[in-house]
Chains A and B, each alone.
Chain A
């Protein structure tokens, strides 16, 4: 009886207030959306003032001459494309991003599987150790790598000597330097893939594997027909996201090789820094970084598509 009263009580109330409602509601709505707008003003200021506006300003800057006195149209872009150094930068950026992301994705996938197979108790400890490279700021950990690659004191070369191999000029020889920057990026980024894939693996329902086992699926078939399809979306998001971040990397290359030897390891970010800030050619530097934009925009569109799809799946 009492329960019934409680449940019934609110029912007449709306009817009683009803006549006063339309105006009040509209006012409320107006107030709410005004308030909502006010709450987002700081966000809009940051995004508009320090992201959107600089982007368009970069486009404007990239069309000026070096002294920024004359409008030169697309000359800077044409000039860059005709230079061999810049062609190397384009090539190296692609090698760096694709090579590092493929390696990170593979290592992350393997590690996530291996961790997932462990008993829950040990998992935490191992996961804790495996995430350390991701936690140390890359500008700091790259210093350790730089020291490991040092021409005369390299601790890696010391080990190579121990097994009778000749020492390697890690950062002095273009091929090895390219390998070194990718290696450090893989070292830093693989734990991120691992943790993303591990989270995804944990969300695959066990029943699917049980059903597959009953159907007599082998381990490989379970991976191919259960795990991969269930993780496809997360794999795509992680790879695309990492492609963006790796393509636009700065820290590792800047500290480890500073683009050398002979500009062979420059990627867009470090080359833009060298041209725009160190050599003082702001318009040309702006043009260098703008060359990244088409690739980044394309990747971003795909990330957005996959993230939207995922949130829809999770909601539905």
Chain B
């Protein structure tokens, strides 16, 4: 009772303001409705290609070829495209190649970046500041600038049309960014922690292994996810260096195997695309926060 009285007492002198608050609330509601409409429009735009991909992958070749059907809806869903991909042809080989290249690249990237970031974040040495800047600038160098000289180099190393050339080349894309965000994460660890470790007689490797890595685990996870998605998605290098089907990775293999002249096996292409998109999508679904942390860290950290 007294509470409402008090509330009325405070509200009374502010009567005109109170009305205005009401209109703001109404305005808010309209803004919210507008927001949902805009969101719905963009969600439809953003999810249309994956949706259509899924629908096509569930159609038989006859259904795809039949122009009288609604192309957006599958009439009689079938898994025959998936079945055919997994049992015949080189799709499983391409998938395995992608897994091998991606896992190797992630491992190499994380070792190189963790060691370098530890040194650059904690030990000042001659040129360390310049090197940190250099790492960032390297991250800005696109692979379209370098693939032609690399074509010559890889050829002279005898690695042309060799899967392992990818493991050699992918780190050039992943290492700079991962090092850069790990420098940011390591720098945010309080210096008191390493001093405490040094007093306890830890050497630098114990410090890295027992303090830096556990404390910066979210950052490491973000960097790992970044390295994984970039390696999985890489298209230019496989396009330039891999020519025979058994060496190809998914991004180039799907197209090269399922298009013979003018025959496009769209059902199988889309089924292959769905399965190829699945690993990054699953990682994203389960580790969205780390994924986003890695995405935004480049500009907000360091």
Chain A residues with a Cβ under 8 A of chain B: 32-33, 35-37, 39-40, 42-44, 46-47, 50-51, 54-55, 57-58, 61, 107, 110-111, 114-115, 117-118, 124, 126, 128-141, 143-145, 147-148, 150, 152-153, 155, 158, 187, 190-192, 195-196, 199, 234, 237-238, 241, 244-245, 248-251, 254-255, 268-269, 272-273, 276-277, 282, 285-286, 289-290, 292-293, 296, 299-300, 303-304, 307, 310-311, 314
Contact = CB atoms under 8 A, between A and B. Distances in A.
B49 A58 contact: no
Instruction: Give 9 nearest A-B pairs by CB, closest first.
Output: A137-B233, A248-B142, A269-B144, A36-B123, A43-B116, A139-B235, A33-B125, A39-B119, A144-B49
A126 B273 contact: no
A266 to B, nearest CB: 12
A301 to B, nearest CB: 9
A196 B128 contact: no
B136 to A, nearest CB: 7
Nearest to B241: A277
A129 B299 contact: no
Given A251-B236, A304-B137, 10 more contacts: A32-B123, A33-B125, A43-B112, A50-B172, A111-B42, A124-B288, A137-B229, A241-B299, A250-B239, A311-B302
Interface residues of B, number: 96
A304 B133 contact: yes
B142 A42 contact: no
Given A39-B118, A143-B254, A158-B70, A286 B280 contact: no
Given A137-B233, A144-B53, A42 B112 contact: yes
B240 A273 contact: yes
Interface string B3-38: 000000000000000000000000000011011001
Nearest to B266: A147
A295 to B, nearest CB: 11
B179 to A, nearest CB: 6
A47 B144 contact: no
B79 interface: no
A299 to B, nearest CB: 8
Contact of A158 (B49, B71, B152, B204): B71
A268 B143 CA distance: 12
Contacts of A134: 295
Contacts of A255: 255
Given A43-B175, A55-B145, A143-B254, A136 B295 contact: no
Which of B42, B240, B291 gathers the greatest number of chain A CB atoms within 10 Å?
Answer: B42
Contact of B140 (A107, A251, A303): A303
B144 A250 contact: yes
Given A136-B281, A143-B255, A195 B138 contact: no
A43 B127 CA distance: 14
Contacts of B288: 124, 128, 131
A273 B26 CA distance: 56
Contacts of A300: 137, 140
B233 A115 contact: no
Interface in B82-135: 111-113, 115-116, 118-120, 123-126, 128, 131, 133-135
Contact of B119 (A36, A130, A153): A36
B52 to A, nearest CB: 6
B53 A147 contact: yes
Contacts of A147: 52-53, 56, 266, 269-270
9 contacts: A40-B120, A44-B131, A46-B172, A54-B153, A137-B232, A138-B233, A139-B235, A144-B49, A273-B239
Interface string B33-56: 011001100110111111011001
Contacts of A130: 39, 42-43, 46
B196 interface: no
B146 A277 contact: no
Contacts of B64: 153
Contacts of A50: 146, 150, 168-169, 171-172
Contacts of B136: 304, 307
Contacts, number: 278
Contact of A135 (B70, B125, B281): B281
A251 B233 CA distance: 10
Contacts of B39: 111, 114-115, 118, 126, 130
A250 B235 contact: yes
A201 to B, nearest CB: 12
A58 B72 contact: no
Interface in B250-284: 250-252, 254-255, 266, 269-270, 273, 276-277, 280-281, 284
B144 A144 contact: no
Given A147-B270, A153-B266, A286 B148 contact: yes
Contacts of A111: 38-39, 42
Contact of A155 (B71, B135, B255): B71
Interface string B158-184: 000000000011011001100100000
B204 A286 contact: no
A282 B255 contact: no
B26 to A, nearest CB: 14
B300 interface: yes
B67 interface: yes
A44 to B, nearest CB: 8
A199 to B, nearest CB: 5
Contacts of B149: 54-55, 57-58, 61, 286
Given A50-B150, A143-B270, A293 B142 contact: no
B43 to A, nearest CB: 5
Contact of B151 (A153, A199, A277): A277
